[in-house]
Amino acid sequence: MIATGRPDWSLAILISTKRMMRFVSDILREPFGNVPAIAHAASIDMEGPILAADVIALLLQQACAADDLDQLVHLMCQYLRGRGGG
C-alpha cells in the first residue's frame, strides 16, 4: 500500500485481549530502527460487556413478567454469540 503512494489507506490489527492491545499499542507508539512511531487509534468492541450488563439488569429487576425467562434466554444467546459462540 505504501508503494502505491496513495495516502487514503488504513490497516486494522485485531487483538483478542485488552492486555495484548496495550502491548501492541505501546510498540506502535515507539520508533523502531528506521520505522518511525506509528500514529494509531485503539478501540474496544463493547458488545460483550453491554450484553452482559443487559443480562445482569434483567436478573436484578424486582417485577416478574410472564416472558422473563424468554428474555433471559434471548439475552444469554446474544451474549454468547457476541463472545464468539455458535
36 and 5, same structural domain? yes
Residue 45 — φ and ψ, nearest 5°?
-75, 120
**Segments forming the whole domain that contains residue 77:** 47-82
Domain co-membership, 3 together with 39: yes
The per-residue pLDDT for 30 is 92
Tell whether 39 and 20 lie within a shared domain: yes
Question: What pLDDT is attached to residue 38?
Answer: 87
Query: Mean pLDDT for each consecutive 10-residue tract of the chain (86 residues)?
Result: 81 85 91 87 79 81 79 81 64
Verify that 2 and 40 share a domain, yes or no. yes
Which helix (H) or strand (E) segment holds residue 59: the answer is helix 47-60
Q: What is the pLDDT of residue 48?
A: 72
Q: Is the pTM of this model over 0.75?
A: no
In angstroms, the Cα distances linking 38 to 9, 15, 21, 33, 46 are 14, 17, 15, 13, 25
Number of domains the chain contains: 2
Are residues 28 and 66 part of one domain? no
